């Protein structure tokens, strides 16, 4: 079953063609990595898919529905979740409040605006469970800014997962992490259920080759290769342009 289909997708910033007629589709359960040099358009592509940016042209279908013109929150309700290249947690709020806000945003009860957020027991229970699973229960009342960088990364990714998304978009989940923390992230991704589709951008080739069954290579906004890790590794153009090995 098709999860995501992107057709002729383009994004222009002034004179810069950041994403250029990109076409691909992803099946439910696929683990796809998007790689490419700095400025290749990877983050822009993720921003188009989840609606943070509007496409200049082209279309995006999510489970058969045309979402090209939908705002991010509506795509989120359809089952997209995102972790960012730059950590997007609320630094001054406590760990618990970050968890509650994330979980709360996905429930229909979010429209009942005049009840205190703690009153929603299902959300609260899920938050408690999430924090215990993450080993962050002891730190629940600390501001997020006091957590180590690796803990923040892990928290952001796990919050994305707590939303039980159909499609998880990860932008450089291993950025700034130690080797051990990077391995932990690999473990988290590999442990995901087969109903989760994952699109992951990362510069860490070890992580990419470990988790992805398919790799899409972007160069100046265009797809220059799309195949299995073996195919990508032996692709002459990829080696020349991207890896600089030849």
Which of ligand ATP, Mg ion, none does residue 36 bind to, with CB < 5 to 8 Å depending on kind? ligand ATP
Of 96 and 169, nearer to Mg ion (C-beta) is 169
**Which pairs with CB-CB distance under 8 Å and at least 24 residues apart come from 98-106?**
98/144, 98/155, 98/159, 99/127, 99/130, 99/131, 99/159, 99/162, 100/124, 100/127, 102/159, 102/162, 102/163, 103/127, 103/130, 103/159, 103/162, 103/163, 105/73, 105/76, 106/76, 106/77, 106/163
42 forms part of the interface with ligand ATP (CB under 6 A): yes
Residues 63-102 that bind ligand ATP (CB under 6 A): 85
**Which pairs with CB-CB distance under 8 Å and at least 24 residues apart come from 119-128?**
124/100, 126/162, 127/96, 127/99, 127/100, 127/103
Which range of residues in 24-32, 34-42, 111-119, 227-235 is near ligand ATP by CB under 6 A? 34-42
Question: Smallest gap, in angstroms, from Cβ of residue 133 to ligand ATP?
Answer: 30
Of 28 and 175, nearer to ligand ATP (C-beta) is 175
Q: Which of 15, 38, 113, 236 is in the footprint of ligand ATP by CB under 6 A?
A: 38
Question: Smallest gap, in angstroms, from Cβ of residue 12 to ligand ATP?
Answer: 9
Residues that bind ligand ATP (CB under 6 A): 13, 16, 18, 36, 38-44, 85
């Amino acid at each position: 079953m098709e999860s995501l289909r992107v057709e002729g997708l383009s994004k222009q910033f002034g004179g810069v063609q950041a994403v250029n007629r990109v076409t691909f589709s992803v099946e439910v359960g696929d683990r796809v990595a998007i790689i490419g040099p700095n400025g290749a358009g990877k983050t822009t592509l993720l921003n188009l898919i989840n609606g943070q940016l509007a496409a200049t042209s082209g279309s995006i279908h999510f489970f058969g529905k045309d979402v090209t013109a939908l705002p991010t929150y509506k795509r989120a309700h359809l089952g997209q979740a995102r972790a960012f290249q730059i950590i997007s947690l609320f630094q001054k709020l406590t760990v618990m409040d970050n968890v509650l806000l994330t979980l709360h945003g996905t429930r229909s009860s979010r429209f009942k605006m005049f009840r205190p957020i703690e009153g929603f027991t299902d959300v609260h229970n899920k938050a408690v469970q999430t924090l215990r699973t993450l080993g962050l229960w002891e730190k629940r009342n600390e501001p997020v800014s006091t957590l180590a960088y690796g803990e923040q990364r892990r928290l952001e990714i796990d919050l994305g997962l707590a939303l039980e998304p159909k499609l998880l978009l990860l932008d450089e989940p291993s950025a700034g992490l130690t080797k051990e923390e990077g391995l932990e992230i690999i473990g988290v991704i590999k442990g995901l259920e087969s109903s989760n589709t994952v699109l992951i951008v990362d510069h860490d080739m070890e992580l990419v080759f470990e988790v992805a069954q398919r790799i899409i290579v972007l160069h100046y906004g265009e797809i220059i290769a799309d195949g299995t890790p073996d195919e990508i590794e032996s692709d002459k153009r990829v080696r020349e342009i991207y890896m600089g090995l030849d």
